Amino acid sequence: MTPLSLTHFTATSCIGCGLQATLASLQEQRSGLAPCAFETVTLQTYIGEVPGVESVRLPVALKRFECRNNRLALLGIGQDGFLEAVAACVGRWGRRRVGLFLGTSTSGMLDTEVAYRRRDPKTGALPAGFDYAGTHNSYSLAAFVQELLGLEGPSAVVSSACSSSAKVFASARRMIAAGLIDAAVVGGVDSLCLTTLYGFHSLQLVSPNPCKPFDVGRDGISIGEAAAFVLIERPPESLDADAILLLGVGESSDAYHMSSPHPEGRGARTAMLEALACADLSPEDVDYLNLHGTGTLNNDSAEGLAVAAVFGERRPVVAASSTKGATGHTLGAAGALEAVICGLSLEHGLLPGSAHTRNVDPSLGFEYLLANRRQPLVRALSNSFGFGGTNCSLVLGRAQ
């Protein structure tokens, strides 16, 4: 594919609001996971909660979008001069030539859950003021951000569980290649809700401890929340050496099971190989691999086998880590959050070590980073996989 510029990006998660705080946490290998005291949840688990989301208020004109997910979106998109960068981009291309593709798995679900506790005892009706389109519908996130940014290009929400906000890069890339747009705001926002906390618990996939991806004693995920946004554009004729680029995207389906990955990571392997082929790169061109690495027994095993199959011929094998021990699994926001983390890695020459992981699973056929490593790097690969056997890998790189 023709590389695209990541002109601007930002991320907000439990390890920090904005890039500076996020980078500082990564540099210090600080995890944002804490014992769950969220809402009325009584599960014994750790979560990655973003502080202060409740106190965010949407602009009066956009009140109908008021819910936790859109509050988190507003908190996140206000960081790092992202709004100004989008305004400048609109100035370059025009508001109809800037697309908007965002990922979320649960949108404003928390507010619907709370509304169900407040139903009219006689009629069963939801409380007056419940706004389906503005909060509950998956598209409410993009509708809100589109109005906030004043964009008039094509827009959609991708909701493919935990690959959602990786796949938005693929959608935007195709829209740009097809000539419909010149730039796009992509990203993901997913916020804590009872459906995912109790849902993953019902599948016995939630750890009672902070998650420890690829540890021999790993015992499940820690759920987090995040908002991450990336502005991608057709690149200018001459690029700065430190510009960050989207080089490749790969997508596949497992066709194996709704909630378990293919045991040998068949779809994961295809997604990584397709992303590399799309970027016209070989496995040895990858300096850092940000793993999906959720911390469940089966997910990490399957991904480990897939990584070994793709990179196994290489000596030394690729350096890899999951950053979910720091951020938690931010579900529909994970793809965009981890793309931004790869962007920071490329900019600052930082390969993040895995928070909470102590004893790396000895069966892994590649180098799993426990400690941070400082090293100039040129290309990074990021994996995002989800329920339904959906897989997406992204290749990012420095223009150099």
| Residues found near other proteins in the complex (CB under 8 A) | 96, 105, 112-113, 116-117, 119, 123-126, 130-133, 136-140, 142-143, 146, 152, 154-161, 167, 170-171, 173-175, 177-178, 180, 194-195, 198-203, 251-259, 266-267, 270, 386-390
Query: Which of 17, 162, 193, 392 is an active site residue?
Result: 162
* 22 versus 165: smaller Cβ distance to other proteins: 165
255 vs 371 by CB, closer to other proteins: 255
14 vs 194, beta carbon nearer other proteins: 194
Cβ contact 391:254 at 8 Å: yes
154 CB-near residues (< 8 Å, 6+ apart): 99, 100, 175, 180, 181
Alpha carbons 336 and 323: distance in angstroms, whole number = 13
Smallest distance, other proteins to C-beta of residue 157, A:
5
Contacts of 1 (CB under 8 A, 6+ apart): 173, 177, 247, 248, 249, 278, 279
Is the Cβ of residue 194 or residue 355 nearer to other proteins in the bound state?
A: 194
Q: Is 292 a catalytic residue?
A: yes
Kindly report whether the peptide bond that precedes residue 376 is cis, defined as omega within 30 degrees of 0. Answer: no
Angle in degrees, 0-180, between the axes of helices 297-311 and 266-278, rounded to the nearest 10: 40
Q: What is the rounded distance in angstroms from the CA atom of residue 303 to the CA atom of residue 305?
A: 5
Distance of alpha carbon 169 from alpha carbon 191, whole angstroms: 20
Exactly one of 8, 136, 292, 356 is catalytic; which is it? 292
DSSP H helices, the chain, are 19-27, 68-77, 82-93, 109-116, 140-149, 164-177, 194-202, 266-278, 297-311, 324-327, 334-348
Residue carrying the six token digits 């939630």: 206
Q: Active-site residue 392, yes or no?
A: no
Give the C-alpha separation, 166 to 335, whole Å. Answer: 4
Which residues are CB-contacts of 179 (< 8 A; sequence separation ≥ 6)?
Answer: none
The CB-of-170 to other proteins minimum distance in angstroms stands at 8
Nearer CB in complex with other proteins: 96/314: 96
Nearer to other proteins, 30 or 234 (CB): 234
| Cα 7 to Cα 86: distance, rounded to the nearest angstrom | 9
Paired tokens of 188: 């993901």
Q: Identify whether 262 is a catalytic site residue.
A: no
Please count the other Cβ atoms lying within 10 Å of the Cβ belonging to residue 4: 22
Give the C-alpha separation, 270 to 252, whole Å: 6
Choosing from 36, 329, 342, 356, the catalytic residue is 329
Please choose, from the candidates 289, 288, 244, the residue with its C-alpha nearest in 3D space to the C-alpha of residue 269.
289
Rg (CA), the chain: 20
Nearer to other proteins, 336 or 369 (CB): 336
Compare residues 171 and 323 and give the one whose CB is closer to other proteins.
171
- C-alpha–C-alpha distance, residues 384 and 190, integer Å: 15
Residue 66 corresponds to which tokens in the numbers above?
């008021």
Let me know: does 52 contact 14? Beta carbons within 8 Å.
no
Q: Running DSSP on this structure, what letter comes out for residue 132? A: I
Minimal distance, residue 379 CB to other proteins, in Å: 22
Residue whose structure tokens are 């019902």 = 202
Alpha-carbon distance 400 to 397, whole Å?
8
List, by residue number, the catalytic residues.
162, 292, 329
